[in-house]
Amino acid sequence: MEIKKAVFHSSSGAMKQLPDGDISEFAFVGRSNVGKSSLINMLCNNKGLAKTSSTPGKTQTVNLFLINEQWYLADLPGYGYAKVNKNMRQKFQSLITDYLSQRKQLKHVFVLIDGRISAQKIDMEFAEFLIQEEIPYTFIITKTDKAKQKDVTMLQEVHKQWVSSLNAPEPAFLISSSAAKKGKDGILDYIESLIAAEKAG
């Protein structure tokens, strides 16, 4: 897949603000500061599309970007640490879970995990929520240009073993690096295959 057109559509702080319709949505989510905005911008060939920040927790709404006038890329608030007050943090954390469990247009979730660090409990807990809700998901390992291959492999193995302990199917992994422009084709082709499978029924 090639993204020829990517435009900002809407920013919603509550479920009722999200658009109606039947356009498929593919969500990107991860811990704050995992490199989500940079990855979205790389995929869309637009450095200014998703707002990046050195301050964790910048995204506090569900931001939809219309891709090739065919599907939405949903940029979700980061989970975990965010430098905002407690009430605001609870508000956008509940927005994530409500969106994931209730949004009928949502077709797949891409969970971003940082390739530079060891497996994090909060990432596993988030994936467990998706498994319990029977929401299809795929891991994307980010910032791999700054990680050793053995560490990336170990990160995958830890997550595989943990998911296996839940008696859930083995998860898929995609590798990326926004800085090195790595993984773009693989991620977009993966989304394209999901769209094709959906159309095929």
67 contacts 45 by C-beta, under 8 angstroms: no
Residue ranges in the chain assigned as alpha helix (H): 36-44, 86-102, 121-132, 149-165, 184-200
Do the beta carbons of residue 79 and residue 113 sit within 8 Å?
no
Query: Residue 135 CB: number of other CB atoms within 10 A?
Result: 17
Domain ranges of the chain: 6-200
In CATH, which of 1.10.10.60, 3.90.1150.10, 3.40.50.300, 3.30.920.30 is domain 6-200? 3.40.50.300
Under a CB-based contact definition with an 8 Å cutoff, are residues 3 and 50 in contact?
no
pLDDT at 87: 59
How far is C-alpha 192 from the chain's CA centre? 16
- Give average pLDDT by consecutive 10-residue segment, the chain, 201 residues: 94 93 96 91 90 57 95 89 51 79 96 95 90 95 96 96 95 96 96 93 72
What is the DSSP secondary structure assignment for residue 87, as one 8-state letter? H
Per-residue burial over 102-133, b if 16 or more Cβ lie within 10 Å, else e, is ebebbbbbbbbbbbbeebbeebbebbebbbee
Task: Note the pLDDT of residue 151.
Answer: 95
The pLDDT score that the predictor gives to residue 23 is 96
